[in-house]
Amino acid sequence: MSAPEPGKKAARSTETGDHSTCAQQLRDGMDGIDVTVSAAVPLIVGPYTTEPFACPHGTLFWIEPTSEQVAKWRAEEAG
């Protein structure tokens, strides 16, 4: 899965893969970082907001760390 080029919509795939696992595959690929994956556009653009990722089925997903993950990072920074 990859981010689409700015200003371009994701192309829909003609593959018949299982779309129900796309969001979980993105979560699993975050290597221990607790994230929220959503097909809904974020209401607030924050410091962790990135471009959406497109699954092979054409759905755009936004990935952001959970508030718990951000709190953990802040605690680690504080020592």
pLDDT in tens, 1-59: 555 455 444 444 445 467 888 999 999 999 889 999 999 999 999 999 989 999 988 99
Q: Which domain holds residue 34?
A: 19-78
Asked whether residue 5 is domain-assigned, the answer is no
Q: How far is CA 9 from the centre of its chain?
A: 16
What does each C-alpha distance from 78 to 14, 17, 33, 59, 70 come to in angstroms? 49, 44, 19, 38, 12
Q: What pLDDT does residue 20 have?
A: 85
Q: What pLDDT does residue 18 have?
A: 77
Asked whether residue 1 is domain-assigned, the answer is no
Q: What pLDDT does residue 35 have?
A: 94
Dihedral sign (CA 50, 56, 59, 63): negative
Going by DSSP bridges, is the β-strand pair 53-54/60-65 parallel, antiparallel, or unpaired? antiparallel
pLDDT in tens, 56-76: 889 999 999 999 999 999 999
Number of domains in the chain: 1
Asked whether residue 13 is domain-assigned, the answer is no
Output the pTM of the full model. Answer: 0.70
Asked whether residue 8 is domain-assigned, the answer is no
